[in-house]
């Protein structure tokens, strides 16, 4: 077959695109439908990119701008209004989540300036386990000493602890995130059972069961 310019034309070029005699490398492939993500999956992709610092424009967000501050459901002044503890034994800096009569999530910013570090230990600053338990109990107190539970702001005591486990050390520079959940309440006797878990960066560092007592005014 000759072309208008007198040049020989390849036989395969005269075959229709779907002809089985057409070499596979030249055959037209069906167009693939574009991949679409569900809304939850799309949000997850965006969250992962944000965590990696990708703003979608080939740029990265500086690490100091990637992490939003913790919410302040209760600030330190509101905590002072509820808990009787004061320096150096107030071990809750902020409440970041709270559901009246059910649970509270508080944080303790662990710094090298905490007064227990010079002795525990001078060469390796680790937060004492008993103080982690005390901090968790104080978060539990924020649940106990509320009108929804019928507690008194004058009386708040440890009645017992059980099944306490320390999973990882907490060191200076960590932020201890503590969740205390009310499991059982005997309002008549002012006794409550609570479950507590403490985390650093998503890792479980301490957990246990707490028995707490509060009196009536």
Residues 154-192: tens digit of each pLDDT = 667 888 999 999 999 999 999 999 999 999 988 888 888
The overall pTM is greater than 0.85: no
Q: What is the pLDDT of residues 91-104, one digit of tens each?
A: 999 999 999 889 99
Indicate whether 40 pLDDT > 90.
no
Instruction: Decide if 85 is catalytic.
Output: no
Write down the CATH superfamily of domain 65-213: Hotdog Thioesterase (3.10.129.10)
User: What's the average model confidence in pLDDT over 96-115?
Assistant: 95
Answer with the residue of higher pLDDT: 146 or 152.
146
Tokens of 174: 């960590």
Q: How confident is the model at residue 12 (pLDDT cuts 50, 70, 90)?
A: very low
- pLDDT at residue 15 above 90? no
- Phi/psi at 134 (nearest 5 deg)? -65, -45
Map out the domains of the chain as residue ranges: 65-213
pLDDT given at position 149: 63
Which of 15, 78, 97, 120 is labelled catalytic?
120
**Residue in 162, 147, 160, 164 with CA at minimum distance from that of residue 192:** 160
CA-to-CA distance for 198 and 70, rounded, in angstroms?
Answer: 16
pLDDT digits (tens, 9 = 90+) for 42-69: 556 555 655 555 555 556 889 888 888 9
Which of 72-80's residues contact partners 24+ apart within 8 Å by CB, and which partners? 72/96, 73/97, 73/98, 74/98, 74/142, 79/142
């Amino acid at each position: 077959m000759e072309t208008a310019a007198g040049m020989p034309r390849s036989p395969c070029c005269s075959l229709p695109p779907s002809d089985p005699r057409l070499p596979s490398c030249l055959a037209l492939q069906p167009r693939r439908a574009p991949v679409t993500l569900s809304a939850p999956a799309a949000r997850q992709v965006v969250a992962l990119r944000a965590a990696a610092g990708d703003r979608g424009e080939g740029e990265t967000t500086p690490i100091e701008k990637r992490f939003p501050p913790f919410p302040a459901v209760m600030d330190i002044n509101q905590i002072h209004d509820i808990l009787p503890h004061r320096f150096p034994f107030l071990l809750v800096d902020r409440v970041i989540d709270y559901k009246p009569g059910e649970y509270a999530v508080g944080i303790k910013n662990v710094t090298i300036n905490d007064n227990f570090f010079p002795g525990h230990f001078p060469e390796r600053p680790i937060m004492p386990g008993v103080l982690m338990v005390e901090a968790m109990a104080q978060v539990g107190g924020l649940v106990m000493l509320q009108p929804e539970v019928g507690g008194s702001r004058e009386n708040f005591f440890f009645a017992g602890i059980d099944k306490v486990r320390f999973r990882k050390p907490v060191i200076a520079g960590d932020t201890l995130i503590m969740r205390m959940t009310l499991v059982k309440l005997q309002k008549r006797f002012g006794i409550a059972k609570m479950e507590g878990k403490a985390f650093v960066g998503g890792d479980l560092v301490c957990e246990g069961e707490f028995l707490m007592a509060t009196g009536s005014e």
